Structure 1
Amino acid sequence: MLARFSRFATLLFFSLVATISLAQESKPNVVMILSDDQAWGDYSFMGHDAIQTPHLDQLASESLTFTRGYVPTSLCRPSLSTIITGLYPHQHGVVGNDPPWKGMKEGQKRPNHTQPEYVKNREAYLSHIDNMKTLPDYLAPLGYRSLQTGKWWEGNYRRGGFSEGMTQGDFNKDGRHGDKGLNIGRTGMEPIDSFLDSCKENDDPFFVWYAPFLPHTPHNPPQRILDKYTSKTDSLPMAKYWAMCEWFDETCGQLFASLEERGLAENTIVIYVTDNGWINELSASRYAPRSKRSPNEGGTRTPIMIKWPGHVAPKMDKETLASSIDLVPTVLAAVGVETDRNLPGINLLDKSKRESRDTLFGEIFEHDIQSMDDPAASLRYRWMIQGDWKLILPSSRMRGEKPELYNLKQDPHENNDLAAEHPQKVKSMTDAINAWWDAE
C-alpha cells in the first residue's frame, strides 16, 4: 500500500513539474516598439500619400490596430514614464523633461545639463522612478528578463527595473535621455540580437523596450532613403522627416526579422505606440504648433497596435478609444498577472471593456518642470474625449485662453471650435475632467 502511494506521489510530482514547465514555456515574450516624434497619420496604412512604411503596414494588418489611440501627454519623458508604469503623469510625478534650476523663477536660462549643481537636481528628480512600479518590475517575478534600448530619461536602466540595458544615465557625462541607448536603430540592432540569442538559449521569457531615437531630430536619414522623397516635395526639411519615418520603419523590419529567424515570433506579443506627435515645419526641421507639446490631435494621437499570433485576431479598429495607459494592464492580463487596481487603464484585449469605454483623459505640462513634487505647478491643459467630442481645458496659468470644443468625427484636425455653440457640453465635460483630476 505504501509503495503504491509512493509511486502515485512520484507520478503526481513529475506531472506537476511538467505542468509548471509547460506553463513557463508558454509565457509570451513582449516587445514594445515606441516611435519618437511621429504624427498619427504619418504611415502608409494610415493613408499618408508619400511616406512608405511597409513593415509597420504589415504589423498593422496582423494586429488589433486602434487608429484612435492616444497618449495622455505629448512630451517624451512624461509620456515614456506613462507607458512603462501605466499611470498618468500627475500620478507618477514625471511631468516634464527637465527639472527646476536655481534662478528659474527669476527668468534665468536653464544651465548646461552637466553643470554640477544642476546634476544634483536631475539626480534628485529620479526619486519618481524609484517610487514607481514599472512593467519590468511586474514581469521579473515571473522569470522575465527585460532589455532597455533607445530613449530612457530615468537614469540607469536598472532604475526602471530592467535586468539589462544600454542607458548608463551618468548625468555628469550628459546622460540626459538615453546616452548609449540612442544608438539603437541608427547604428544597428545590437544589443537586441545578442539578448534574443541569450534568451532563446536559456529558454527565458523576455521583455524588450525598443525606443529608438527615430524619427526624432537630427533628421539625417541615409541618402538612399532621402533620395526617394526629395522629388515628392519642394521642402527639404519635409523630405528629411518623411525619410526618417521610413528609416524607422526599416529598423522595425529588422527587429521583426530577428524574431522570425530565431523562431520567437509566434510566442511574442508585439505592441506599438508613439510617445508623442510631430508636425514638421516646411522651412526647418522643427515641430509646428498644435503638434508636439500641444493638447491637439497632432500631439496626442497615435496608432496603437497589438500583435499576438493565435491569440489576438487582426482587426483595424477605427472607433474604439485606446490609450498608452492601457498597455501595462494589457500586458499583465496577457501574461496572467492580476491587474493592479491602482492602474487607471483597461485590458485592451477584453472586448467588453473596450466596448464600454467612451471617454479618455489627458494632461499637458510645461517642458521645464516647475516643481520637484507638485504636478499641478507645471500644468498647461487638461483634455478629454467623450465619444466624438473633445474638450481642451486650459489651466488658470494659461491667461487669456478659453476652453475649446471639437467634434472629431466631423473635424479630425480641430479647425472648428464649437465651444460657444455648446456651452452645456463644455460644462458637463469640464465637470468630468475635474472629477478625474481636480488640479485647480
Structure 2
Amino acid sequence: MIRNLLIAATAVLAFAANERPSAAADRPNVVILLSDDQRWNDYSFQGHEAIQTPNIDRLAEQSMVYQRGYVPTSLCRPSLASLFTGLYPHQDGITGNDPREGKRTKEGRAVLVDRFMKNPRLAEILGRHGYVSFQSGKWWEGNPSSGGFTAGMTHGDVTKGGRHGDVGLTIGRKTMEPVMNFIDESVAADKPFFLWYAPMMPHLPHDPPERILKKYKAEGRPLPVAKYFAMCDWWDETCGQVLDHLEEKGVADNTIVIYLCDNGWTQRSDVGGGAIGGPRGKRSVYDGGTRTPIMIRYPGHAKPSENTTDLASSIDVVPTILAAAGIQTDYNFPGINLLNPEAVAKRQAIFGEIYAHDIPDYRSPEKGLFYRWVIDGDWKLIVPTGQEEGEYGPKEPALFNLKSDPEEQKNVISDHPDVAKKLREKLDGWWSPKV
C-alpha cells in the first residue's frame, strides 16, 4: 500500500498567482525516467558495441529524441534540483550535494531543503492542478513533501540515514511494487498522475544479477567494466517494466514520458573506480559529464524522430511538461517547450555550470563555482574560474568543435579568437558572476 505523505504547508509562490487551471481532458499523466551515472552513448540505440538496452531503444523509436541533450551541471543533487525546479543551479541555490558547514547534520541539510522549497517545484505545481504524484529512487531534498509529492518512498530523516533517497533507493534494485501500486491506484481513482522514477541505477554499487552479468563477461573485458555494462542493462529492464505497465493499464497514449540521465559516467577498468568514476565523466565540464539523450514520448503530440542537430537541456523539462498539461504560470522559466518547434528553432545556445561538491554558501553560488560553459552550434566554450579543486576541466579558457572533436581533445581557441569572443559574450550575457 502506498504510504501517503503529509504535504508541508507552504506559502503560495508569487509566480503561481495567476496560474490558469487546465481542463481535465487536457491533462496527460507524466512519467520521468531518470538514469543515474550513465554516459550519453552507453545505450544500444546510441551505437554502443556491447550494452543492450532494448526497452530504452523501443522508447527511442516512439519518442522525439534530442541526441544533443545536456544537463547544466554534472553532479547528482544539483542536476536533480535543476530538473525539478526548471532553474539553473545558481538560481535555485542547490549547487552541490552537501553543505560545506554541517555537511551531514540535520540542521545543515535543513537549510538547503528550506532554500529548495522557495523555488518553483514540479510536483507542487502539478498538485495544484489535480495531479497525484509519487517519488521513488533518488531524492535529496528531505521528505518528498518538500517537492509537493502526494506520496513517496523516501523518509528524508537524517537521524535515520536520510540523505539522497534512503528507503526509496530500493526501487528498481529490490522491488518495483510501490511504483506499480501507485499507477494502479491513480488509474483506479481516475486521477492524472506524476511519477518520478529515479533509481540509483546504473550508479554504484555495481552489483547486477548474475543472470545479466554473465551476458557481459568476456575475455579481455575487465570485470568492473562488465559489471557497469550489466547495470545499464538492468536499468533498461526496469524501464521496460514501467513502460509495459502503462500499456497494461491502458494509459500509455495519454502519458508524456520523458527520459534523461542526471550526469555522465566514465567506467574505469580497475576495481571500484571511486564514487566519481574515471576522468571526463561525472563532475566534469566535458560532454562525458554533461551530455545525455533527452527523449519525449507523447503519442499524437511528439513526433518520433532522431533529432541530431537541435540542442536540448534538462532546464527544458519543466516548461515542456507544464505546456503539455495546459498549465500556464507567470514564472519566466529559462528553458523552452521542447514540443514547440518554433521555440526549438529559435534557440541559439545552451549553458551550464560546474561547482564544488560541497556548497560553501547557497546565497553566493560563485563561491563554489569551477566552470561556466556554453554550446552554440558545433562550438563549445569552457571558462574556468581558477577555484577548481580537482581535474574536472581545463585550467584556461578552452574552445572545442564538437563535430570534428567530440571528445574535446583539441583546444582551438587560439585558432578561432572571434568565435571564442562571441561565445564569451553570450556566456556573460547569460550569467556573469564576480568570482
With structure 1 as the length reference, what TM-score do the two structures score? 0.90
Q: Within the alignment, does 1:357 sit opposite 2:357 as a pair?
A: no
Larger radius of gyration: 1
Q: CA deviation at 1:356?
A: 1.4
- CA gap of 1:142–1:224, structure 2 versus 1, over 3 A, is same
Give the conservation status (yes or no) of the 8 Å contact 2:356–2:388. Answer: no
Tell me which protein shows more helix as a share of its residues.
1
SS in 2 for 1:413: coil
The code of the aligned residue for 1:290 comes to R
Following the alignment from structure 1 to structure 2, what is the Cα–Cα distance between the partners of residues 340 and 315? 31
Q: CA deviation at 1:372?
A: 3.7
User: In the alignment, which residue of structure 1 is the partner of 2:86?
Assistant: 86
User: In the alignment, which residue of structure 2 is the partner of 1:64?
Assistant: 64
Following the alignment from structure 2 to structure 1, what is the Cα–Cα distance between the partners of residues 48 and 330? 38
Following the alignment from structure 2 to structure 1, what is the Cα–Cα distance between the partners of residues 47 and 401? 21
Query: 1:300-330: CA deviations, max 9, x gaps?
Result: 0000000011221100100000000000000
The code of the aligned residue for 1:296 comes to Y
Q: CA deviation at 1:101?
A: 2.3
Give the conservation status (yes or no) of the 8 Å contact 1:29–1:267. Answer: yes
SS in 1 for 2:98: coil
Following the alignment from structure 1 to structure 2, what is the Cα–Cα distance between the partners of residues 173 and 181? 13
SS in 2 for 1:228: coil
User: In the alignment, which residue of structure 1 is the partner of 2:198?
Assistant: 211
Following the alignment from structure 1 to structure 2, what is the Cα–Cα distance between the partners of residues 233 and 370? 44
Give the conservation status (yes or no) of the 8 Å contact 2:86–2:318. Answer: yes
Q: CA deviation at 1:358?
A: 2.2
Give the conservation status (yes or no) of the 8 Å contact 2:134–2:152. Answer: yes
Q: Within the alignment, does 1:406 sit opposite 2:397 as a pair?
A: no
Following the alignment from structure 1 to structure 2, what is the Cα–Cα distance between the partners of residues 94 and 358? 26
User: In the alignment, which residue of structure 2 is the partner of 1:310?
Assistant: 300
User: In the alignment, which residue of structure 2 is the partner of 1:434?
Assistant: 428
Q: How does 1:190-339 map to 2 (within 5 A)?
A: 190-231=177-218, 233-286=220-273, 287-339=277-329
- CA gap of 1:233–1:63, structure 2 versus 1, over 3 A, is farther
Following the alignment from structure 2 to structure 1, what is the Cα–Cα distance between the partners of residues 150 and 181? 14
User: In the alignment, which residue of structure 1 is the partner of 2:414?
Assistant: 420
User: In the alignment, which residue of structure 2 is the partner of 1:4?
Assistant: none
Q: CA deviation at 1:293?
A: 0.3
User: In the alignment, which residue of structure 2 is the partner of 1:130?
Assistant: 117
SS in 2 for 1:420: coil
SS in 1 for 2:69: strand
Following the alignment from structure 1 to structure 2, what is the Cα–Cα distance between the partners of residues 398 and 309? 44
- CA gap of 1:244–1:417, structure 2 versus 1, over 3 A, is same
Query: 1:353-395: CA deviations, max 9, x gaps?
Result: 1111120000000011111421111100000001100011001
Give the conservation status (yes or no) of the 8 Å contact 1:26–1:267. Answer: no
Among candidates 140, 150, 160, match of residue 173 of structure 1: 160
Following the alignment from structure 2 to structure 1, what is the Cα–Cα distance between the partners of residues 420 and 378? 13
Following the alignment from structure 1 to structure 2, what is the Cα–Cα distance between the partners of residues 351 and 86? 19
How much identity, in percent, do the aligned residues show?
52
User: In the alignment, which residue of structure 1 is the partner of 2:95?
Assistant: 95
Following the alignment from structure 1 to structure 2, what is the Cα–Cα distance between the partners of residues 232 and 308? 42
The code of the aligned residue for 1:183 comes to T
Give the conservation status (yes or no) of the 8 Å contact 2:70–2:293. Answer: yes
Following the alignment from structure 1 to structure 2, what is the Cα–Cα distance between the partners of residues 391 and 26? 41
Give the conservation status (yes or no) of the 8 Å contact 1:100–1:372. Answer: no
Q: How does 1:368-387 map to 2 (within 5 A)?
A: 368-387=358-377
User: In the alignment, which residue of structure 2 is the partner of 1:24?
Assistant: 24
User: In the alignment, which residue of structure 2 is the partner of 1:43?
Assistant: 43
Aligned length: 406
Q: CA deviation at 1:433?
A: 1.0
Following the alignment from structure 1 to structure 2, what is the Cα–Cα distance between the partners of residues 312 and 232? 43
User: In the alignment, which residue of structure 2 is the partner of 1:13?
Assistant: none
Give the conservation status (yes or no) of the 8 Å contact 2:264–2:292. Answer: yes
Q: CA deviation at 1:261?
A: 1.1
Give the conservation status (yes or no) of the 8 Å contact 1:390–1:406. Answer: yes
Following the alignment from structure 1 to structure 2, what is the Cα–Cα distance between the partners of residues 227 and 178? 29
SS in 2 for 1:429: helix
Query: 1:191-245: CA deviations, max 9, x gaps?
Result: 1111111111110000000000100000000001110101165211000000000
Among candidates 130, 134, 148, match of residue 135 of structure 2: 148
SS in 2 for 1:95: coil
Q: CA deviation at 1:173?
A: 1.4
Q: CA deviation at 1:340?
A: 4.2
Following the alignment from structure 1 to structure 2, what is the Cα–Cα distance between the partners of residues 284 and 417? 32
Q: CA deviation at 1:341?
A: 3.8
Q: CA deviation at 1:428?
A: 2.1
The code of the aligned residue for 2:27 comes to K
Give the conservation status (yes or no) of the 8 Å contact 2:301–2:339. Answer: no
Following the alignment from structure 2 to structure 1, what is the Cα–Cα distance between the partners of residues 25 and 348? 37
Q: CA deviation at 1:343?
A: 0.5
SS in 1 for 2:295: strand
Following the alignment from structure 2 to structure 1, what is the Cα–Cα distance between the partners of residues 280 and 249? 42
Q: Which runs of 5+ in 1 are unaligned?
A: 1-21, 103-109
Q: Which runs of 5+ in 2 are unaligned?
A: 1-21
- CA gap of 1:363–1:231, structure 2 versus 1, over 3 A, is same
Query: Is the deviation greater in 282-291 or in 75-84?
Result: 282-291
Q: CA deviation at 1:84?
A: 0.6
The code of the aligned residue for 2:136 comes to T
